Amino acid sequence: MQTMRFVPAERHEHDLFDDFFDNMLPGYGTNELMRTDIREKDGKYLLDIDLPGFKKEDMKISLYNGTLTISAEHHDSQEEKDSKGNILRQERYSGSCKRSFYVGEGIHESDIQASYQNGILTVEMPSEQKKQEEERKYIDIR
């Protein structure tokens, strides 16, 4: 089972996948947005994150200091907004959201792969330590 601890200073003992949920919005608790399943399979960790209704370009995955951050925004142009018609009811969340997971110092950007299908962003990374040469800032989403 996961324990979640907030450690503001240096981190030495982190549970893997400690997560720091950045968007505690009123009305949307931690259990509403970006729900994530984490599983391990064949030497890889896979994160399945609920992110319906975004475009690939609007989602960003980055790795910094052992922390993996996934963020998603809507960048609708004014025309796209106007073409939606009159809104009679709005329940779906239409803002941006972000979530971070601690993955440890052994992971590099090049180790991480991501794909987006049916509204789920799947991020995978090796669970065994590996060394990679390439450096990339953002992870491509297939």
Partner 1 sequence: MSYVPEKRNSVFDLMEDMFEPFNMPAMGSLMKTDIRRKDDKYLLDIDLPGYRKEDIRISLYNGSLNISAEHHESKEDKDAKGNILRQERYSGSCSRSFYVGDAIKDSDIQASYQNGILTVSFPTEEKKEQEEKKYIDIL
Q: Which is nearer to partner 1, 65 or 118 (CB)?
A: 118
d(CA 113, CA 46) in angstroms, rounded, equals 10
Minimum distance between the CB of residue 22 and partner 1, rounded to whole angstroms? Answer: 16
* Angle, CA of 77, 82 and 84, to the nearest 5°: 105
CA pseudo-torsion sign 131, 69, 102, 12: positive
Q: Which is nearer to partner 1, 52 or 95 (CB)?
A: 52
Length, in residues, of the chain = 142
Q: Give 53's DSSP letter.
A: T
- Residue 24 interacting with partner 1 (CB under 8 A): no
Find the binding residues for partner 1 in span 46-105 (CB under 8 A): 46, 48, 50-55, 83-93
Residues that bind partner 1 (CB under 8 A): 2, 17, 31-32, 35-42, 45-46, 48, 50-55, 83-93, 116, 118-120
